[in-house]
Amino acid sequence: MALTGLLLIGFLLMHMFGNFKMFLGEEAFNHYAGWLKGETPDGGILYPILPAGAFIWVFRTVLVAAVLLHVYSALTLWQRAKAATPSSYQAKRTLSQTYSARTMRWGGVILAGVLIFHLAQFTVHSALTAGSFGATYADSPYKMFVGEFQQWWMVALYAIWMATVAMHVRHGFWSAFATLGANTSPKAQTVLNACAWAAAILLYIGFIFAPVAVLFGWIH
């Protein structure tokens, strides 16, 4: 749970940083998108150690494995918690748990759905809402990004989804480090929670920045 979670947070940070290429213009962004997939003349990442276009599949395999292991661990914990709860309290009051901590499980289910839609939209191009990748967007990831996020409701939807991601990361980041044994003093707890807040806020602002820029016409 902790290791796969941290790996996925690492990926999100990288993905967020990559999205900033949108501000450098169409050529830069499309070159970056092509380079990730090994479609550029230099053969992309790890070429010639790996054949051109092979790295992206290694990368995708690791990510899919991380997601599946993360889900498997979560379901195991969920199952154990259910088995340990014979009946619920008539009156229940919580003292310290945060909203993020309480919603990790159902939030995770929502995130799984969001992830599937996100991949269908921007990776497989089967769920594009404002055009088609081949025709309207002329095979340009940049044009696709702009076209999709020129719709205000799509930006609103992603703003909500990113809040779900940020909340999941807020508890998940702290919890991962606690599970890995980093929380051994009250001070460590404060520091880890502060880092978790920082990671969550950074991811939220970082990811919503480019879509908002598209919506307001700063990127077109």
Interface contacts to another protein, rule CB under 8 A:
76-77, 80-81, 83-97, 101-102, 104, 171, 174-175, 178-186, 188-189
Q: Residue 144 or residue 196: which is nearer to another protein going by CB?
A: 196
Distance (Å) of CA 216 to CA 12, 128, 152, 220: 24, 20, 9, 9
Smallest distance from another protein to CB 66, Å: 19
Q: Residue 93 or residue 220: which is nearer to another protein going by CB?
A: 93
Smallest distance from another protein to CB 71, Å: 15
Q: Residue 74 or residue 146: which is nearer to another protein going by CB?
A: 74
Which residue stretches of the chain are H helix? 2-19, 26-36, 55-83, 99-102, 104-122, 141-149, 152-179, 186-215
Distance (Å) of CA 69 to CA 23, 39, 65, 74, 115: 35, 30, 6, 8, 15
Smallest distance from another protein to CB 93, Å: 3
Q: Residue 33 or residue 196: which is nearer to another protein going by CB?
A: 196
Smallest distance from another protein to CB 193, Å: 10
CA distance 179 to 185: 14
